[in-house]
């Protein structure tokens, strides 16, 4: 868009070798730095972030309150059915342990370790995009250097200097666009998403502990709603 | 101002396509990185920072001392009226819990969790402006590269090189100004504001615990005034 | 000095519009980022750092030992006179609490909170200079871009290109000098000074607790001298 | 590859003095910053990372379960044979202490200290590659400056300017390639590998404590499998 | 070396005003940022790092085992002689306290505070070199700007442009070399050295506590050898 606005032709900005240098270099460096399996799974889950919305804390709390009510009336065993219908494996395993009568301390320990490991895995995702966001402009500059060296070594035809330099600069352009329009925002996105996921896991964690301890559903709801207030902001909360 | 001083015409620095690249690119990257709802609410609260002054710690302490005196004379129930008149929802909820006779430990736990969640939300604001402060100059450079590539590809008319390069450079100029005169200072501003808000919440936290525990209002005041001393600085405090 | 050595005239480096852009831009950004009152007080205390030397730990320890001896002989009340003559409000308040018979735990809590708040305030100072150290070169570059754009838009007179570019570059020069010869070293300076102040406050803290607890002055002196050894370095300590 | 695609000859990018400046300078700075023995061992273990795959957590858990079963049936002494056949010295020492009947607390203390020291050593590796990743482009730029200064000092023959500048720029090219295609990805790689190694050590740590305490092998397996779930990701875990 | 390889004369790179700007500017900024006494002592101890090797952990452990054996046979008083012969003041003071019968808790508190203070002092050293590593290239660029401004202001004689620009660029060259071949590697070096010194202090700390508590020398040796295994690396340890 910007290009058209500035009055140029888009084809001017399409250059296969430049794309190969920036994309190829970035992929090469990323494959040295990260195992292939990790790269694939991070890209896949990176894409999912845009397709699937994260479960809303409100819904999670409503679900937990419902389960808590059921457990209060019918005993812990009555929530066994929810284990199968729960799509979230974290909640499912926590419910299973609750039904199995695992001690509160052990449930807490396992749930917290899972949270820590999930956090680590999510951080890996934004670290990788962050690295790619620094590799891409570097290879953009490398491509421009290649173009400049070739141009400078053959200055015989002055009329070719301009177009050759234009081509050399396109590589820097590619690197900058890829980094700033994709990799770096993706890293920020995944960091934000990780925060939301960990908050959700924290809500489930506190809810399950509350259910296991047999707290009143209303009390549990009050405690969990603190998370919503924090999310909606101090000012709005009172209205 | 600087422009006029340097003897140029301001219109020279007004270029629609350049503005579109920098502003559009920055908005695009920000929308990839952050949910739209967050972006809107951060901008709104960012603007509020300049319009509404934060409540002074002195006033908060005076208010708490007053409430403490009332509670001492008329019992905890006598402060029920303050809950409605308190504009700050954090203080209002804390008072409500105090009146309801919630245990000190539970009040403390909920208030501290709210503080932590507020801190997280405020940090998100300065993180977002910080990100925008790095996107803007990047798109400034990207726009300049677009302009240079177009210019270099058509060097036929030497007399047009200068003006074309001037236009190309304006995009870098826009990115640098937006980042350094708005986004980065805003990030610093919100960081500072967050500090003040958390300090205020800490004062309220300690005050409410003190009221709940039935401490003498004078003792509470002495404890809370430590926050003022820290704010005014070590040297001035004695005068 | 460098200019003269390189054989140029100093007047060549004096350009009012450039100064206005760099200084004005830096001040504008700083005023967006920080409250005016904070900016003034930080500059004032920044200047004081060069005029007033910080109290030496040796003197503080000697003073505390003297007070401890007095308290041991004449009781805690005998040190009441020192409260008036002590120029340091931190020590004065601590002595006052000691004379008033405040419990050790409460004294410790208040003194540590004061230390934490002082640390925060001192950090704000070096953060602000650090921010200014990044604003200044940015506005230097912005000024140079303004100059270049104006020059490029009017390339008619080739003989004026050189001088115009020289003027444009001076703005970058101003930004770099201001940042590297003033703002960034000041930020480092204030960080170092904050360390020394907090160390002094720690010495006073431990000394007062020791006096309150009625420890033998000699034992207190031995404990506090650890701070001196750390300051003088491991090697020198034994001589 | 990129070079060929851009239509140049590869020989154009081969320049002995440039290589010597970048490689020599990077080595020199690294040798000032790190002891020679460390540099050698880091490079050696850096290479091993690509040749030897790290042991899979699944295999470690399976192995620990087997040992646990053996210990349950034949007593702690029956696992003495595993000490000799275990290739991992960390596990071997832990088993030895278990067989020797060292107290659980002491085993834990020693194993955790070993973990902390291993983490420190692994961090040193990625720190070193990180440093080299900043030295290399710096010496690339230094080499280019050398070339430019020489070229600028002798501008008599205009036809030689281009080739001389081309040679000067190759040094920047070398520095950028070395940093972005080797040093920086290696630093990222070693950081990731360190994470995996520490996770493995954590699994062994928990497994050994479980064996020493005589927990049921099935219970131990359940606890350790949390690490696998975290590794495979929350979503996949349930299938 | 690089210069000669690139075929230039070394004298071309020797320029007194450029050296004065970079060295003078770096010194000036450093003196603003750090007290003179600190600068001197850091440079002195920075040089010592290359002359004196740090004591090997193996030797420290051997020494502690010997002292422990002596104390076991002849009582704590029998180690009084070692206090005089010990060159390390940290160990000497710890031994003195042990002989004097100071309580274990008090010895531990003093030794840990000394460690923390030593760490702080060592960190100051690498912070200072780190700062100098950012001042030097900045003044290199400032010097180049001075040269360029002077050149651009007098473009009358085209034949002098090249040499003048060459001289201007030398200043950037100086700054980059000083930073990357001296200041930054020195900062890395001091960070690494600090790690080793703190490890040694930790070994002495644990050894002294063990001696004070009357642990068996063999047990102490086993515990301390964990530090050696960490140093030599996991793989080598078993051979």
Q: How far apart are CA A76 and CA A72, in angstroms?
A: 7
Token duo for residue A217: 């559903």
Helices (H), B86-216: 89-99, 104-153, 161-178, 184-212
Which among E223, E233, E238 is the nearest to D92, CB-wise? E238
- pLDDT on residue A161: 86
Q: How far apart are CA B69 and CA B79, in angstroms?
A: 10
Greater confidence (C135 vs E79) lies with: C135
Token duo for residue D233: 């990701």
- pLDDT on residue D50: 83
Residues of A in contact with B154 (CB under 8 A): 162
- pLDDT on residue A154: 79
Token duo for residue E57: 């952990």
Q: To the nearest whole angstrom, how far is the Cα of C109 from the nearest Cα of chain B? A: 9
Residues of D in contact with E230 (CB under 8 A): 113-114, 116-118, 120-121
Q: Is E56 on the interface with D (CB under 8 A)?
A: no
Q: Which residues in chain C (183-202) have CB-CB distances under 8 A to chain E?
A: 184-186, 188-189, 192, 195
- pLDDT on residue B229: 65
Categorise residue C107: left if φ over 0, alpha if ψ from -120 to 50, beta otherwise.
alpha
Which among C2, C163, C230 is the nearest to E143, CB-wise? C2
Contact C33 B169 (CB under 8 A): no
pLDDT tens readout for residues A100-157? 988 999 999 999 999 999 999 999 999 999 999 999 999 999 999 999 998 888 777 7
Question: What is the share, in percent, of chain C residues with pLDDT greater than 70?
Answer: 92
Name the residue of chain A whose CA is nearest to B128's CA: A188
Alpha-carbon separation of residue B91 from A238, B67, B84, D185, D190 (angstroms): 11, 11, 11, 50, 49
Q: Is B115 on the interface with A (CB under 8 A)?
A: no
Contact A200, B52 (CB under 8 A): no
Token duo for residue C231: 């300051």
pLDDT surpassing 90 at residue C95: yes
Residue A239 pLDDT grade (very low, low, confident, very high; cuts 50, 70, 90): very low
Residues of D in contact with A118 (CB under 8 A): 230, 234
Q: How far apart are CA A134 and CA A179, in angstroms?
A: 7
Contact C8, E150 (CB under 8 A): yes
Q: Is C161 on the interface with B (CB under 8 A)?
A: no
Residues of A in contact with B118 (CB under 8 A): 230, 234
pLDDT surpassing 70 at residue A233: no
Which among A118, A146, A148 is the nearest to D3, CB-wise? A146
Residue C234 pLDDT grade (very low, low, confident, very high; cuts 50, 70, 90): very low
Residues 6+ apart with CB under 8 A from D159: A155
- pLDDT on residue C9: 66
Token duo for residue A122: 């999510």
Residues C225-235 as b/e (b if ≥16 CB within 10 A, e otherwise) read bbbebbbebbe
- pLDDT on residue B232: 40
Token duo for residue C71: 């308290």
User: Which residue's entry shows tokens 């977002």?
Assistant: B128
Q: How far apart are CA C28 and CA B185, in angstroms?
A: 9
B touches C (3+ CB pairs < 8 Å)?
yes
Contact D29 E177 (CB under 8 A): no
- pLDDT on residue E229: 66
Instruction: Report the interhelical angle of E104-153 vs E16-33 (nearest 10°).
Output: 140
pLDDT surpassing 80 at residue C236: no
Alpha-carbon separation of residue A231 from A56, A207, A211 (angstroms): 11, 18, 23
Length of chain E counted residue by residue: 239
- pLDDT on residue E8: 53
C touches A (3+ CB pairs < 8 Å)?
no
pLDDT surpassing 80 at residue C148: yes
Contact B181 C117 (CB under 8 A): no
Residues of E in contact with D90 (CB under 8 A): 234
Give the pLDDT mean for C171-183.
Answer: 96
Q: Is E40 on the interface with C (CB under 8 A)?
A: no
Contact E89 C177 (CB under 8 A): no
pLDDT tens readout for residues B98-124? 999 889 999 999 999 999 999 999 999
- Angle (CA) D46-A126-D239 rounded to 5° is 95
D touches A (3+ CB pairs < 8 Å)?
yes
For chain D, the C-alpha Rg in angstroms (whole number) is 26
Q: Is E153 on the interface with C (CB under 8 A)?
A: yes
Residues of E in contact with C13 (CB under 8 A): 146, 149
pLDDT tens readout for residues C20-79? 999 999 999 999 999 999 999 999 988 888 888 889 999 999 999 999 999 988 888 888
Q: pLDDT of chain D along its 239 residues, tens only?
A: 445 445 556 777 888 999 999 999 999 999 999 999 999 999 998 888 888 888 999 999 999 999 999 998 988 888 888 888 888 999 999 999 999 988 999 999 999 999 999 999 999 999 999 999 999 999 999 999 999 998 888 877 778 888 889 989 999 999 999 999 999 999 999 999 999 999 999 999 999 999 999 899 998 998 899 898 654 444 443 33
Number of CB pairs, chain A paired with chain D, less than 8 A apart: 134
Contact B99, B83 (CB under 8 A): yes
pLDDT tens readout for residues B170-211? 999 999 999 999 999 999 999 999 999 999 999 999 999 999
Residues of C in contact with B230 (CB under 8 A): 113-114, 116-118, 120-121
pLDDT tens readout for residues A181-208? 999 999 999 999 999 999 999 999 999 9
- pLDDT on residue A234: 41
Residues 6+ apart with CB under 8 A from E70: E78, E79, E82
Average pLDDT, chain C: 88
Greater confidence (B39 vs A4) lies with: B39
Residues C95-104 as b/e (b if ≥16 CB within 10 A, e otherwise) read bbbbbeebee
Contact B166 C145 (CB under 8 A): no
Number of CB pairs, chain C paired with chain E, less than 8 A apart: 132
Q: To the nearest whole angstrom, how far is the Cα of A194 from the nearest Cα of chain D? A: 12
pLDDT surpassing 70 at residue B54: yes
pLDDT surpassing 50 at residue B235: no
Instruction: Report the interhelical angle of E217-232 vs E184-212 (nearest 10°).
Output: 160
Which among B89, B124, B149 is the nearest to A12, CB-wise? B149
Alpha-carbon separation of residue A128 from A186, A198, D125 (angstroms): 10, 19, 19
pLDDT tens readout for residues A70-109? 998 988 888 888 888 888 999 999 999 999 988 999 999 9
- pLDDT on residue A94: 93
Greater confidence (B8 vs E67) lies with: E67
Subunits with 3+ Cβ pairs within 8 Å of A are B, D
Q: What is the model's pTM?
A: 0.90
Q: Is C134 on the interface with B (CB under 8 A)?
A: yes
Categorise residue A7: left if φ over 0, alpha if ψ from -120 to 50, beta otherwise.
left
pLDDT surpassing 80 at residue C165: yes
Residues of A in contact with D234 (CB under 8 A): 88-90, 118, 197
Residue A49 pLDDT grade (very low, low, confident, very high; cuts 50, 70, 90): confident
Contact A147, A130 (CB under 8 A): no
Q: How large is the greatest C-alpha to C-alpha distance in chain A, in angstroms?
A: 90
Q: pLDDT of chain E along its 239 residues, tens only?
A: 445 455 556 777 888 999 999 999 999 999 999 999 999 999 998 888 888 888 999 999 999 999 999 998 988 888 888 888 888 999 999 999 999 988 999 999 999 999 999 999 999 999 999 999 999 999 999 999 999 998 888 777 778 888 889 989 999 999 999 999 999 999 999 999 999 999 999 999 999 999 999 899 998 998 899 898 654 444 443 33
Give the pLDDT mean for B44-59.
Answer: 88
Closest CA to A205 of C178, D96, B113, B96: B113
Q: How far apart are CA B153 and CA B214, in angstroms?
A: 79
- pLDDT on residue B234: 41
Name the residue of chain C whose CA is nearest to E48's CA: C235
Q: How far apart are CA C116 and CA A88, in angstroms?
A: 43
Greater confidence (A100 vs B155) lies with: A100
Q: Is B121 on the interface with A (CB under 8 A)?
A: yes
Cα-flanking dihedrals φ and ψ of residue E208, to 5°? -65, -45
User: Which residue's entry shows tokens 């730990």?
Assistant: C57
User: What letter does residue D75 receive in the DSSP assignment?
Assistant: -
């Amino acid at each position: 868009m910007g290009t058209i606005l500035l009055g140029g032709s888009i084809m001017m900005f399409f250059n296969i070798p430049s794309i190969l240098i920036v994309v190829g270099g970035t992929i090469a460096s990323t494959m040295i730095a990260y195992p292939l399996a990790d790269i694939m799974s991070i890209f896949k889950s990176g894409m999912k972030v845009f397709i699937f919305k994260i479960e809303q804390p409100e819904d999670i709390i409503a679900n937990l309150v419902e389960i808590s009510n059921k457990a209060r009336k019918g005993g812990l065993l009555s929530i066994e059915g929810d284990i199968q219908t729960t799509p979230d494996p974290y909640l499912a395993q926590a419910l299973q342990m609750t039904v199995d009568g695992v001690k509160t301390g052990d449930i807490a320990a396992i749930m917290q370790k899972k949270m820590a490991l999930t956090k680590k895995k999510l951080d890996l995702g934004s670290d990788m995009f962050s690295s790619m966001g620094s590799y891409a402009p570097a290879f953009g500059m490398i491509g421009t250097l290649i173009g400049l060296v070739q141009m400078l070594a053959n200055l015989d035809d002055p009329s070719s200097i301009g177009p050759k330099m234009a081509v050399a600069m396109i590589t820097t352009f590619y690197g900058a666009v890829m980094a700033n329009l994709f990799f770096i925002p993706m890293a920020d996105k995944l960091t934000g998403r990780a925060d939301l996921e960990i908050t959700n896991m924290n809500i489930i964690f506190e809810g399950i502990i509350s259910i296991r301890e047999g707290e009143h559903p209303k009390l549990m709801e009050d405690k969990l709603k603190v998370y919503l207030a924090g999310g909606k902001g101090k000012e709005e909360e009172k209205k």
